[in-house]
Amino acid sequence: MRIMGLDYGSKTVGVAVSDALGITAQGVEIIRRKSEKRLRQTLARIEDLIEEYQVGSIVLGFPKHMDNTIGDRAEKSLEFQKILTKRTGLPVVMWDERLTTVEANRIMAETGVRKEDRKKYVDELAAMVILQGYLDFHRE
Cα-Cα-Cα-Cα dihedral of 93, 94, 95, 98, to 10°? Answer: 170
Question: C-alpha 46: how far from its chain's center?
Answer: 11
Asked if 25 and 119 count as a contact pair (C-beta separation under 8 A), the reply is no
Q: What is the pLDDT along the chain (140 residues), one digit of tens a residue?
A: 899 999 998 889 999 999 999 999 999 999 998 877 789 999 999 999 999 999 999 999 998 877 878 888 889 999 999 999 999 999 999 998 876 776 766 776 777 767 676 666 777 878 998 999 999 988 86
Note the pLDDT of residue 25. Answer: 95
Q: Give domain limits for the chain.
A: 2-139
CATH of 2-139, one of 3.30.420.140, 3.20.20.70, 3.40.47.10, 3.40.220.10: 3.30.420.140
